Amino acid sequence: MINFSEYIRNIPDFPVKGIQFKDITTLLKEGDVFAAAVDQMYGPYKEEEINKIVGIESRGFIFGAAMAYKLNAGFIPVRKPGKLPAETLSEEYQLEYGTDSLEVHLDGIEAGDRVLVIDDLLATGGTAQATCTLVEKLGGQIVGLSFLIELTSLKGREKLSKYRVHSLIQYEI
């Protein structure tokens, strides 16, 4: 059994003073640990039919694309504004100061799609919630969400209470 937290590097004061940044690149560079993390992020959903993996820009692309490959599922990128070239649906979410938004291609999700949402980190849950809203507005069904890391004190899980949420590593910070 791999203790995934041993492969996460803590970087103090990144990107700004006071933040303890959880660096996942020390996990990614160990091939067997990365593969095991992808497998275990999928584990709780292995009885489910899933035909689309939605990955949130940009570290969510890393785990999401590997999982899509594993499942032979379609990979759907959710991106910051202006990055996706075709017609998009956009959803705002709250930042500490102000708002930001995420976009998905209108043809990325079809009615009846069974979707697993993937990102590296669950913090306040704002981006994950906006992503689920985008999927549902396009007729997709959220089977669940899976994260490598969850910062439990930020209570992102409460924002996602109507969904199944799984994380491999929890930090109380």
Binding of residue 73 to a second copy (CB under 8 A): yes
Which residue's structure tokens are 């590997």?
A: 66
Has 114 been annotated as catalytic? Answer: no
Query: Three-state secondary structure along 85-134?
Result: CCCEEEEEEECCCCEEEEEEECCCCCCCCEEEEEEEEECCCHHHHHHHHH
Q: Please state whether beta strands 165-171 and 141-151 pair in parallel, antiparallel, or not at all (unpaired).
A: parallel
Closer to a second copy by CB, 18 or 161: give it. 18
Has 6 been annotated as catalytic? Answer: no
From the list 82-90, 92-100, 126-134, 154-162, the region that binds a second copy by CB under 8 A is: 82-90
Cβ atoms of 109 and 135 within 8 Å: the answer is: yes
Binding of residue 42 to a second copy (CB under 8 A): no
Residues shown for the chain: 173
For a second copy, which residue of 84, 115, 149, 168 counts as binding (CB under 8 A)?
A: 84
Q: Which of 47, 49, 87, 96 is catalytic?
A: 96
Binding of residue 112 to a second copy (CB under 8 A): no
DSSP H or E stretch at residue 88: strand 88-94
Give me the residues that bind a second copy (CB under 8 A), please.
9, 11, 14-15, 21, 23, 25-26, 28-32, 34-35, 38, 51-52, 55, 57-59, 61-63, 65-66, 68-77, 82, 84-86, 105, 107-108
